[in-house]
Amino acid sequence: MAKFNLKLRKSRHQPMTAEGARGFTREPRIELFLLGVSNMVGEDTFYEGATDRDARFRDLVAAVAVADPDWFSRFVPWLRSGAMMRSASVVAALEGARAQVAAAIPGSRAIVDAALQRADEPGEALAYWLARHGRALPKPVKRGIADAAVRLYTERSLLKYDSVGNTVRFGDVIDLSHPTAKDERQGDLFRHALDRRHRRDNPLPASLRMLAARDALMALPVEQRREVADPAALGAAGMTWEALAGWRQGAMDAAAWESVIPSMGYLAMLRNLRNFDQAGVGDAVAEAVAARLADPGEVAGSRVLPMRFLSAYNAAPSLRWAYPLEKALQHALVNVPALDGRTLILIDTSGSMQSSFSRDGTLRCWDAATVFGLALAARAQAATVVSFSNASRVFPAVGGESVLAAVRRFKDDGYFYGMGTDTERAVREHYDRHDRVVILTDEQAHWHGAADVAAAVPAAVPVYTWNLAGYRVGHTPTDGDRHTFGGLSDAAFAMIPLIEAGSRDQWPF
């Protein structure tokens, strides 16, 4: 039996979806997988408050980490680097380590280390642990955090992330986890981080040249700072665009942006395209930005979720970004397969799919569903795309249209309904001897009297539910040719051709 098709947990009462349809509970690993790949820790969703959702996540982590430690040791690193879920992977690593230590199960040190991939995350992990479990750090947790600090702590990361506004700073991590520096220069960095934290007036070690360059810039009078526009000088001082804006104490004009763009990270560029245009950044610099945006290596290294390209496309007014953003999105959707035969793709645009998955509210679950659904359709041999809520309607294909343009047309032509979730009706109305059905949804279907929402599809035809919210109860069982995936990245789409080829290894890690 395939790993996604594990036996469902038995219940004394028939579970229901949040909208009253017959529901199906899941085997704990499946429930944890779906919640993990969609869980923005501390965020409310349409049907589940943050407190309850986070508690369910912790309980599942503790249970699965002990019941199947091998699966868990593969799941957490993939959750961070494959599904690109930052907060969820940190919480999973720490809560899983706590449960495994209590059960005398080894291996959690490596899991904690793997979950921490950005230099502020050792501090965030430690802050989470101290707030939730106190100062008693189990050795695997302490050593995993220390391993990550050695791997991630540099002069540049100290300048960027060691903020006085953080509860746990680099020096606190060093104090409590006792990392062993990999070389003499990092040893100097560790000692300086401790001096910063404890406000010791010790001289800056000579090996820390980037910090010295930053100090020299900070010593300049404010009226002279606007004259510093050499990208090499700013880069040597580890000057980010946020730091530059504060240092100049004035608006970021074109010259300021052009001086810092060469050292900007991928996501920082993506988020500032509109600012580049408003400041009047020149065409030559814009062409360099566009080339980086469209570079497949840059996209892969950035670990940017596909919907971020939609957000940038919607925010940037200039057409000079449209083509590089489309190319970047295609690179970010590298796992979307080219499906043969006929595929029915149902995109849930009900009210609950308006739940936000970005803190700024610019991206919603139905944005993700539409991006993935239209990307899948663009590569499929023959696809029928349907938007459904209480009503449903086929979204007509336009030959040669880009995915981002199709998403905009989807919105402009009124395909986001925002009403109820009549999934079964949509399946019955639009299934017509298709070779497979893909439903992108939060699974909270209305009651319609059938055994499950896929009852209209013959048992031998695979139905793939792509769950974008991670609620506990689903709309169809995961057995036979009924499969459930999830998340905000494209990773699990690669499972579709594997399943249809008869593979039994149906986790994406």
For residue 45, pLDDT over 50 is answered with no
DSSP state of 83: S
Average pLDDT over residues 339-350: 94
| Confidence tier at 18 by pLDDT (50, 70, 90) | very low
The tokens describing 111, both together, are 């899991």
What pLDDT, on the 0 to 100 scale, is given for residue 307? 84
Beta strands in 87-166 (DSSP E): none
Range in 16-20, 110-114, 136-140, 277-281 with the lowest mean pLDDT: 16-20
Q: Is the pLDDT of residue 2 over 60?
A: no
Answer for the pair 109, 140: CB distance below 8 angstroms, yes or no.
Answer: yes
d(CA 46, CA 173): 36
Res 477: pLDDT: 65
Q: How far apart are CA 227 and CA 214, in angstroms?
A: 16
Whether the CB-CB separation of 462 and 370 falls below 8 Å is answered with no
| Sequence-ordered list of residues with C-beta below 8 angstroms from that of 176, at least 6 positions apart, any chain | 126, 135, 137, 142
- For residue 5, what pLDDT is reported? 30
pLDDT of res. 404 = 93
Contact 38, 357 (CB under 8 A): yes
Q: How confident is the model at residue 382 (pLDDT cuts 50, 70, 90)?
A: very high
Over residues 423-435, the mean pLDDT reads 93
pLDDT band at residue 86 under the 50/70/90 scheme = confident
Backbone φ and ψ of 474, nearest 5°: -105, 175
Evaluate whether 408 touches 317 at the Cβ level (below 8 Å). Answer: no
Provide the pLDDT confidence category of residue 488 given band limits of 50, 70 and 90: confident
- pLDDT for residue 346 is more than 50: yes
Own/partner contacts of 499-508, CB < 8 Å, gap of 24 or more, are 499/2, 499/4, 499/462, 500/436, 500/462, 503/2, 504/1, 504/2, 504/3, 505/3, 506/2, 506/3, 506/4, 506/5, 507/3, 507/4, 507/33, 507/71, 507/74, 507/75, 508/78, 508/82
Confidence grade of residue 446 (pLDDT, cut at 50, 70, 90) = low
Please, which pLDDT band fits residue 118 given cuts at 50, 70 and 90? very high
Mean predicted confidence (pLDDT) in 95-109: 97
pLDDT number for residue 41: 47
Q: Are 294 and 327 contacting, i.e. CB atoms less than 8 angstroms apart?
A: yes
Share of the chain above pLDDT 90, in %: 61
Burial profile 409-429: b = 16 or more Cβ within 10 angstroms, e = fewer: ebeeeebbbeebbbbbbbbbb
Whether the CB-CB separation of 309 and 266 falls below 8 Å is answered with no
Angle, helices 108-115 vs 69-81, to 10°: value is 10
Torsion of CA 22, 385, 491, 508, to 10 degrees: 50
Q: Identify the band that residue 15 occupies on the pLDDT scale cut at 50, 70 and 90.
A: low
* Contact present, 331 and 304 (Cβ < 8 Å): no
Q: In this model, does residue 7 exceed pLDDT 60?
A: no
Dist. CA 483–CA 462, nearest whole Å: 8
- pLDDT over 80 at 435, yes or no: yes
Angstrom distance (rounded) from CA 366 to CA 488:
11
State the Cα–Cα distance between residues 435 and 498, nearest whole angstrom: 15
pLDDT at 433: 95
Strand order in the sheet with 392-395: 392-395, 382-388, 342-348, 436-441, 463-467, 482-486
Q: Domain spanning 336-501: which CATH class is it, in words?
A: alpha beta
Could you give the CA distance from residue 382 to residue 506 in angstroms, rounded to a whole number?
25
Residue 11 has pLDDT above 50, yes or no: no
Q: How confident is the model at residue 449 (pLDDT cuts 50, 70, 90)?
A: low
Query: What's the N-to-C CA distance of the chain in angstroms?
Result: 17
Residue 343, SS3 per DSSP:
strand
Q: What is the pLDDT of residue 23?
A: 47
Q: Residue 218: pLDDT above 90?
A: yes
Q: What is the mean pLDDT of the chain?
A: 86
Residue 454 banded pLDDT, cuts 50, 70, 90:
confident
pLDDT for 362: 65
C-alpha to C-alpha distance for 385 and 436, rounded to whole angstroms: 12
Domain boundaries, the chain: 230-323, 336-501
Average pLDDT in the 396-406 region?
A: 93
Q: What DSSP state is assigned to residue 261? A: G
92, 128 Cβ separation under 8 angstroms: no
Task: Judge whether residue 470 has pLDDT over 60.
Answer: no
503 has pLDDT over 90: no
Q: What is the predicted pLDDT for the residue at 420?
A: 80
CA pair distance 31, 48, nearest whole angstrom = 15
Question: Is residue 463 within 8 Å of 482, Cβ to Cβ?
Answer: yes
Short-list 201, 54, 61, 173, CA closest to 116: 173
pLDDT digits (tens, 9 = 90+) for 162-207: 999 899 999 999 999 999 999 999 999 999 999 999 999 999 999 9
